[in-house]
């Protein structure tokens, strides 16, 4: 950040009085700019015990498989975001959303919130950010071709939980280079 979005003056990185972290502060109007983690929200959409996955048409991880997920928008709830991202990336509807997993990924300043969800019909189509969308059984998940550590982790947990049909809410910290 080079310039203040309030007055256009230069900003500098310094420790504001009473704070414990360096922040960008406007040299003129003294506005403090806080940088907070991005929240990524997604779902594990399920139709008749098959999981809906998407192959990414965008970077990062172009061509890799993922669950429908994306950044939470201002003014949007977690559920609204998961529903929107599933519709945008996979052309699918989801219902009966249940919180399933939170991933803390501090080294990239992200938090992932993943729901379990049902698809009321097996209607889906690749959206603008997806090359392909498909339903897979746990045995058909392309494990070596998944886009992100968080997606591999949540799918591993989900497939394990399927065995007992118990799906506890879990919070996981993902370290760098996991």
User: SS3 for 59?
Assistant: coil
Tokens 């997920």 found at:
69
The CA-atom distances, in angstroms, between 128 and each of 33, 58, 132 are 33, 9, 10
The pLDDT value given to residue 178: 66
Same domain assignment for residues 152 and 89: yes
The CA-atom distances, in angstroms, between 40 and each of 20, 78, 102, 150, 159 are 26, 9, 10, 11, 21
pTM: 0.89
User: SS3 for 143?
Assistant: helix
> What is the C-alpha separation between 81 and 93, in angstroms, rounded?
12
Give yes or no for residue 72 having a pLDDT over 70: yes
> What is the C-alpha separation between 87 and 153, in angstroms, rounded?
23
Same domain assignment for residues 61 and 81: yes
9-65: pLDDT as tens digits? 999 999 999 999 999 999 999 999 998 999 999 999 999 999 999 999 999 999 999
Same domain assignment for residues 29 and 104: no
Q: What's 55's domain CATH number? A: 3.90.79.10
Q: What's 31's domain CATH number? A: 2.20.70.10
Same domain assignment for residues 61 and 17: no
Residue 135: alpha-carbon gap to chain centroid: 19
The pLDDT value given to residue 9: 96
The pLDDT value given to residue 61: 97
Same domain assignment for residues 30 and 45: no
Beta partners for 45?
117
The pLDDT value given to residue 177: 81
Which residue segment(s) compose the domain that 25 sits in? 1-35
Same domain assignment for residues 64 and 124: yes
Domain membership flag for residue 178:
no
């Amino acid at each position: 950040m080079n310039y203040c979005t309030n007055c256009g003056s230069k900003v500098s990185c310094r420790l504001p009085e009473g704070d414990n972290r360096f922040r960008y502060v406007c040299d003129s109007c003294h506005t403090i700019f806080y940088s907070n983690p991005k929240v990524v929200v997604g779902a594990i959409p399920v139709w008749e015990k098959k999981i809906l996955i998407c192959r990414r048409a965008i970077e990062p991880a172009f061509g890799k498989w993922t669950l429908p997920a994306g950044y939470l928008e201002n003014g949007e709830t977690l559920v609204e975001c998961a529903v929107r991202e599933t519709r945008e990336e996979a052309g699918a509807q989801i219902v009966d959303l249940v919180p399933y997993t939170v991933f803390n990924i501090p080294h990239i300043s992200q938090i992932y919130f993943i729901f379990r969800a049902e698809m009321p019909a097996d209607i889906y189509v690749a959206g603008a950010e997806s090359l392909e969308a498909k339903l897979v059984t746990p045995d058909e998940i392309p494990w070596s071709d998944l886009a992100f550590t968080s997606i591999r982790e949540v799918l591993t947990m989900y497939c394990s939980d399927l065995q007992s049909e118990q799906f506890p809410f879990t919070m996981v910290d993902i370290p760098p280079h996991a």
